[in-house]
Amino acid sequence: MAITLNNGFTMPIIGLGVWRMEKKAIKDLILDSIKIADYKNEAELWNTDHGHVLEACKHSLKKLRLDYLDLYLVHFPVSIRHTGIGATGSPLDEDGVLDIETNISLETTWHAMEDLVSRGLVRSIGISNYDIFLTRDCLAYSKIKPAVNQIETHPYFQRESLVKFCQKHGICVTAHTPLGGAEANAKRFGTVSCLDDPILKGIAERYKKTVAQIVLRWGIQRNSVVIPKTSKLERLQENFKVLEFELSKEDMDLIKTVDKNYRTNIQPAKFWGIDLYA
């Protein structure tokens, strides 16, 4: 099952999230994933490489031993001090605040991304963690529209306005935290998981599915791509079984009622000394 992007290429409706996973676990899980589904590759331009897009892409291709990427995303709508190609740290200034660069615009970064397509290094390009206003600006200055906007969205953070805006303008929404981060984010950020929600638990009992399966199926029926993270083979197999059932309109509407506008994943102020969402 796949979604057709605005450039004609297709993208699987369900994928595998690997952020914060150990290298050994990633290797084993990707091999298992290939056995279950036909995965394509995706990479992201890190925040420190906004002024070095071509070099960063070539670095990723070399590491992945590929000639091109199916999809390449701007990881976050902020450029921070460059610390070397391929570095994924977040440098802070002397006050302990994220060291943001002010000489590189998102428009400049995007045109460099477009150049990757012209060079044949990337098939599709996209954005990540862009709100409605930044997405609108990108549409205004782009020659090649973003194919994807990868954002945090789940039943507790549904972001209906942003999702509908992207879809109206032909941008595929990908949920990078489709389960709300669950236990991992509860430990990292002290957040509450939607997987413990009583309404979602009740729906899961009626369908004889896990709450995670209900949440993923909800995401898919919103016409968004979901990329849940797991390090366990049985959970991976369970995730793909969401293609075997469908939620009723009544239950889709019921899930709308649990929205809390509650972000669980990216909490910049906790690590960067600045709230980029303020």
Active site residues: 39
Q: How would you class 185 by CB atoms within 10 Å of its CB: exposed for 0-12, middle for 13-18, buried for 19 or more?
A: buried
For tokens 């605005």, the residue is 6
As a whole number of angstroms, the distance between CA 255 and CA 158 comes to 10
Helices 53-64, 106-118: axis angle to 10 degrees equals 50
SS (H, E, C) 133-173: HHHHHHHHHCCCCCCEEEECCECCECCHHHHHHHHHCCCEE
SS (H, E, C) 26-40: HHHHHHHHHHHCCCC
Beta strands in the chain (DSSP E): 2-4, 10-12, 42-45, 69-74, 122-128, 148-151, 172-175, 225-226
As a whole number of angstroms, the distance between CA 185 and CA 188 comes to 5
As a whole number of angstroms, the distance between CA 49 and CA 226 comes to 26
> For the chain, how far is it from start to end, CA to CA, in angstroms?
38
- Four-residue CA torsion sign, 66, 68, 69, 72: positive
Encoded tokens for 262:
């509650």
